[in-house]
Structure 1
Amino acid sequence: MPFLSACARTVGAAPLAPPPTVAPPPATTDATAKALLDSVAENLLRLSPESATGLGIDTGARAPLRYQLGDRSAQGQQRLASVLAADFNRAEALDASALSYPVRTSIEVVRSAYKTALEGLAFPYGDVAVGGWRNTPYVVIQNVGAWLDTPQLLENDQPIETAADAEAYLSRLSSFAKQLDGELGRLQSARAMGLVPPSFLLDKALPPLRQSAAKARTGGTLVQTLVEKTKAKGIAGDWEARARAIAANEVAPALERQAAELELERASATDQAGMWARPMGDEYYRWALKASTTTTMSPDEIHQMGIDQLKGLHGQMDSILKQVGYTQGTVGERMQALAKDPKYKFSEGDKGRAEIVAFINERLAWINSQLPRAFNTLVHPNMEVKRMSPEQEPGAPAAYGGAGSIDGKIPGRFWINLRTTDLHSKYSLGDLTMHESIPGHIWQGEYTHNEPLIRQMLAFNAYSEGWALYAEQLADELGAYDGNPVARLGYLQSIAFRAVRLVVDTGLHAKRWTRQQGVDYFVNVNGSNPLEVASEVDRYCAWPGQACGYKVGHTTINQLREQAKAALGPRYDLKAFDDAVVLGGNVPMDVLRLNIADYIARTKSA
């Protein structure tokens, strides 16, 4: 059924004569479908010009996009919904029966992503990720909003090679204030309908937001970045004076207006953590789970899945803990005791931060040497390890990562949170490295550069995060922890951590858990780091459902691997299976099942 369309029927009228026979339209060709995919991609790029910069394609005919920012106002949301609906209808009307398998897959991916996004945009609040991983009911909070996204874009991705590039930077800096005020209008509308974030999220968001405003008043990194880059390239101009004027007179007041609005919200906020306490909260959470997992699993089903998988993982951990001398107490209690052992800690301060980066680089060197054992088709990711900004660190997870631009000018980045070295341990950081970089997010993202442009713009949380967990598993299977049972405990605790997420996310949003219940479950049941899980639970409150995509996606990939083994017997090959998963691109789980079925059929017929 088309979106944004309606039909009328006349009741009681005489039966109509059958329509004349009309020859069916010719079957859609690959060329026609590819042209549609290209058109859909260009339409989405115009709505999200930041994506063009992140992909390194804001050049040539797309160069004007380098000067622009996405419209985050209510009108911008309406425009987004309208464009998505029109392009969804175009994709739905396509006869895909005669298309080649890869092109048909791309059409199915667009249909799935756009249908889910349009369902999310029907809610009168929040941000919807179009084929992305972060859906949120709150337009601005500790880990959401232009106040975080746009400075990161300008400071890390915005290219400055010429005077025109510097002008583009200033254009975006000026547009930043308009973008913030667009969000402000939506914040106010949401408050009017009773949608206010939990008090503890507001308490976490307000200090760094005020800090960002104060920095903008005096220039800060927004100005410093432009000055340093133009100086390095020898680009003459009054860049500093112009940037300071925009930052002080436009950006800082807009940030202050947002902070004032959040202070108003704080006055009426409660500590109720979950969506159940918000307008249309149960309906929103069901949609958020669908968007995150690309399944129709209910909150109860996901909750029970987490409990069941955690039991099996803790059984493995119990055996290793006994082997290394931890015999008393629950698995969670013994993992807490292990975390206190000084030999697994990094030093404090800058010395420890340097140790962490060196540790990561050593693990990257090892895994790179092993990957020919797991893939037939290898990529060579251009990447760097980089510390998060001080403004971002308080509301951010321990790390995150993603691939770089198509042209290689923007490297893939493994962002590490170093606000305190106690966030990381020597038995868990190796596994985290595999998840965020290689063979996890950065590695998988490199394969998308061979996909049609729209496929590089659309990603699915269950696939992205399911693959990253599968990457952790591959590292274990390739021998990352051979002879180091404590490090393997770190890996198993990481997988168990994602099983706990299923329980805690559904607990918060569907079963009326408090924030403290969520934190306690992590610490007491899984022995997780209290410093890390406090931010984790806050993240689930801000991004309902997102945390459930990891284990659902991971479970699906392993189910499909077992199906391939059973169907192919001695013809099954790990490298061929892994290729089938990554070369098929980032897809919803139903499309992944089709991709693996195609791999099995091709292998049988070869």
Structure 2
Amino acid sequence: MMDRRRLLMTAALGGAFATSGAARALAQAAGAPAAAPAGPASTQFLALLDKIAQEMILSDPETLTALGMDRGPMAAARFKLSDRSQAKIDADKAKFNEGMAAVKAIDKAQLTATEQTYYDSLEFFGDTVQEGYAFPYGGGMFPSPYTVSQLGGSYQQIPDFLDSQHRIEAADDADAYLSRLSDFAKGLDAERERMQADFAAGAVPPDFVIDRTLTQMAAITGMAPADSVMSESVARRTAEKNIPGDWAAKAQAILTAEVYPAIQRQAEALKTVRPGATHDGGVWRLPQGEDYYRFGLKYFTTSSMTPDEVHQMGLEQVADISARADALLKAQGMTQGTVGERIAALGKDPRFVYPNTDEAKDELIQELNAQMVAMQARMPDYFGRLPKSPCDIKRVPKATEAGAPGGYYQSPALDGSRPGAYYINLRDTAEWPKWTLPTLTYHEAVPGHHFQIALQQEQPDTPLLMKVMGFSAYSEGWGLYAEQLADEIGAYENDPFGQIGYLQSLMFRAARLVVDSGLHHKRWSREQGIRYMVDTLGDQESSIATEVERYCVWPGQASSYKVGHTTWVKLREDAKKRLGDRFDIKGFHDTGLNLGGVPLTVLERTMNAWTPA
């Protein structure tokens, strides 16, 4: 999956709509068009895209850093984190509404075909976010009703952000790090106030989400400041650059006096509501909860599918993929028990399980790198454009691995200063039998998220805004399509168990459709969702539990994968039927990926135009 920062990148469009010459120069350096076409509507529209992108970057220091644009005229951003206050959110909401009104005032018919693609993507996003604003909790920009959870909140995101994205090259970078560390405490308190407002509006997380969140908070504050990644990171990196100063001691003082107490204040706020928290995980129990789930589905799947349609699609696809897996298992002599039971037995086979040691985890990551390199060598036969940015493979930080997803991708910096990164959660190697790992690599790295997102960012002559806009169904659908492509081009020719892993991955995403809609629409319990997935897939219950808990806090996101995948595959098959011998796989991939991140409706229209009847 994409990391939450990538999912939230589009949400940063809610910033103000001001402009500046320095920002325009920076945007053009990142690849925005230097001059607009002659048409007045085009001139007006591209200027508006530029204006939105500039203020999105200017108003969000963390986004600047994530894009590698916190140098030169924007260097002051390195000393601050994003403003997490309700006042900032309210101001952004007003300016967002103003900006969307400006977009809708433009005559779309007067735009070029490419500009109409930009327009439709922005309009869909704007309309959907404005639906989210109607709810009294969650902020509107991202469909999660809880400001702080096991997956959301600065306590969960900032330690890794500081370690992996804040650059330290000189003493002022280290000073900026410490300034941000202090700002971290202010953001935690601002979130606490918003979290308590959510509680008052009726959005108290379920008990198991509170418990998981408190466990992760305790893992941070229970660690001696000297051992924290937040002090260790600045100490290690200043030493590597021979920057004099006792940076570790300064960081530890800030952790002790400011950050740890602020995290503990958040924890106390959660503990206060824990006795009255329900065990029901679906948002149906919240005020306007059924409407909130429909909002989440629309936002993440970029479709008009109803909860019942999502549920039925999942049941049908689970049955189909399960039958395919059954045949492969039988071919390996595994004939007894359900598909889930046989996959569970395969997952426990000592041949396929790495020891749960740091040495074995290092070996596992080396194997992932070998798989990625081997797949990369095949890609020139299937893509006309290849990413310039490399991709690193890393472990999810130990402090947050308990509640983090199994794997996720972090986009590269726009200036090339930081490569893309694929993170794998290695809290327990038993959750990753060897036959599951190639498919994860193809989804997260090559030719999956890394290809799609790096190519989007490297697309020439594209407005900066369109380099960073993303939609989950497009991106996660591509990730699953990448898994299928790897199978089709022969990645598993001599690896029948790896092919079983690929089918389990597809079935896993189909089961998500069932459980996501089951939790939020059919009022399933957490345990019912876990039991369905364990029985269907044969996965470790510990892994499935964190999955189901994730669906509870991001309603609709889990459905985006298979809805998007189904659309990508249908469009390719339709193109093959229309074009016959003229079908070009490179052309299909390049046309689809050159769009960047778009809603599925825009993808469908573009690909159908590429293959006229």
What TM-score, normalized to structure 2? Answer: 0.90
CA-to-partner distance for each residue in 1:249-268, whole Å, 9 max, x for gaps? 12111111001011112121
1:10 equivalent in structure 2: none
- Equivalent in 105, 108, 111 of residue 99 of structure 1: 111
CA-to-partner distance for each residue in 1:201-245, whole Å, 9 max, x for gaps? 111110220232344755722122222222322333453443333
1:381-396 equivalent positions in 2, closer than 5 A: 381-396=389-404
Q: Is the counterpart of residue 307 in structure 1 residue 318 in structure 2? A: no
CA contact (8 A) 1:51 1:457 kept: no
2:579 equivalent in structure 1: 568
CA-to-partner distance for each residue in 1:160-218, whole Å, 9 max, x for gaps? 11232222222211211111111101111122232211111111110220232344755
Alpha-carbon distance in 2 for matches of 1:127, 1:468: 28
CA contact (8 A) 2:216 2:403 kept: no
Q: Secondary structure at the match of 1:391?
A: coil
- The alpha carbon displacement at 1:459 in A equals 0.7
Alpha-carbon distance in 2 for matches of 1:48, 1:302: 35
Q: Is the counterpart of residue 197 in structure 1 residue 205 in structure 2? A: yes
**Alpha-carbon spacing, 1:249–1:105, altered in 2? closer, same or farther (3 Å):** same
Deviates more, 1:174-183 or 1:214-223: 214-223
- Equivalent in 468, 476, 482 of residue 465 of structure 1: 476
2:48 equivalent in structure 1: 36
CA-to-partner distance for each residue in 1:464-499, whole Å, 9 max, x for gaps? 100000000110011011132221111011001000
- Equivalent in 210, 217, 237 of residue 218 of structure 2: 210
Q: Is the counterpart of residue 318 in structure 1 residue 330 in structure 2? A: no
1:451-490 equivalent positions in 2, closer than 5 A: 451-490=462-501
CA contact (8 A) 1:27 1:97 kept: no
**Alpha-carbon spacing, 1:549–1:216, altered in 2? closer, same or farther (3 Å):** farther
Q: Is the counterpart of residue 423 in structure 1 residue 431 in structure 2? A: yes
The percent of aligned pairs where both chains have the same amino acid is 41
CA contact (8 A) 2:312 2:514 kept: yes
Alpha-carbon distance in 2 for matches of 1:392, 1:127: 24
Q: Is the counterpart of residue 89 in structure 1 residue 97 in structure 2? A: no
Alpha-carbon distance in 1 for matches of 2:221, 2:589: 46
Q: Is the counterpart of residue 361 in structure 1 residue 369 in structure 2? A: yes
2:174 equivalent in structure 1: 166
CA-to-partner distance for each residue in 1:278-321, whole Å, 9 max, x for gaps? 22211111101111100111110000000011111111111111
- Equivalent in 310, 333, 352 of residue 360 of structure 2: 352
Alpha-carbon distance in 2 for matches of 1:390, 1:348: 14
Deviates more, 1:179-188 or 1:528-537: 528-537
- Equivalent in 238, 249, 252 of residue 230 of structure 1: 238
Residue 294 of structure 1 aligns to which amino acid in structure 2?
T
Alpha-carbon distance in 1 for matches of 2:113, 2:323: 42
Q: Is the counterpart of residue 265 in structure 1 residue 273 in structure 2? A: yes
Residue 522 of structure 2 aligns to which amino acid in structure 1?
K
**Alpha-carbon spacing, 1:218–1:241, altered in 2? closer, same or farther (3 Å):** closer
Q: Is the counterpart of residue 62 in structure 1 residue 74 in structure 2? A: yes
- The alpha carbon displacement at 1:29 in A equals 4.4
Q: Secondary structure at the match of 2:421?
A: strand
- The alpha carbon displacement at 1:127 in A equals 4.7
CA-to-partner distance for each residue in 1:321-378, whole Å, 9 max, x for gaps? 1111111222112211222221122223123212311220121121011111211122
Alpha-carbon distance in 2 for matches of 1:86, 1:193: 26
CA contact (8 A) 1:216 1:251 kept: no
Deviates more, 1:267-276 or 1:523-532: 523-532
1:379 equivalent in structure 2: 387
Alpha-carbon distance in 1 for matches of 2:516, 2:483: 22
Alpha-carbon distance in 1 for matches of 2:119, 2:78: 28
1:252 equivalent in structure 2: 260
- Equivalent in 239, 249, 254 of residue 247 of structure 2: 239
2:336 equivalent in structure 1: 328
1:547 equivalent in structure 2: 558
- The alpha carbon displacement at 1:103 in A equals 2.4
Q: Is the counterpart of residue 412 in structure 1 residue 424 in structure 2? A: no
Q: Is the counterpart of residue 122 in structure 1 residue 134 in structure 2? A: yes
1:148-159 equivalent positions in 2, closer than 5 A: 148-159=156-167
Alpha-carbon distance in 1 for matches of 2:542, 2:100: 43
Q: Secondary structure at the match of 2:40?
A: coil
Residue 483 of structure 2 aligns to which amino acid in structure 1?
E
CA-to-partner distance for each residue in 1:11-47, whole Å, 9 max, x for gaps? xxxxxxxxxxxxxxx9534343222111101122233
Residue 205 of structure 1 aligns to which amino acid in structure 2?
T
CA contact (8 A) 2:395 2:425 kept: yes
Q: CA RMSD in A?
A: 1.8
- The alpha carbon displacement at 1:574 in A equals 1.1
1:48 equivalent in structure 2: 60
Deviates more, 1:344-353 or 1:283-292: 344-353
- Equivalent in 390, 409, 414 of residue 401 of structure 1: 409
- The alpha carbon displacement at 1:99 in A equals 2.4
Residue 51 of structure 1 aligns to which amino acid in structure 2?
T
Q: Secondary structure at the match of 2:435?
A: coil
Residue 294 of structure 2 aligns to which amino acid in structure 1?
R
CA contact (8 A) 1:332 1:527 kept: yes
Moved over 4 A (4+): 216-219
Residue 573 of structure 1 aligns to which amino acid in structure 2?
D
**Contiguous gaps of at least 5 residues in structure 2:** 1-13, 15-37
Q: Is the counterpart of residue 509 in structure 1 residue 508 in structure 2? A: no
Q: Is the counterpart of residue 585 in structure 1 residue 593 in structure 2? A: no
Residue 67 of structure 2 aligns to which amino acid in structure 1?
L
Deviates more, 1:381-390 or 1:100-109: 100-109
1:524 equivalent in structure 2: 535
Alpha-carbon distance in 2 for matches of 1:80, 1:123: 16
2:606 equivalent in structure 1: 595
Residue 464 of structure 2 aligns to which amino acid in structure 1?
L
Alpha-carbon distance in 2 for matches of 1:184, 1:216: 23
- The alpha carbon displacement at 1:123 in A equals 1.6
Q: Secondary structure at the match of 1:87?
A: helix
**Alpha-carbon spacing, 1:39–1:568, altered in 2? closer, same or farther (3 Å):** same
CA contact (8 A) 1:556 1:589 kept: yes
CA contact (8 A) 1:27 1:95 kept: no
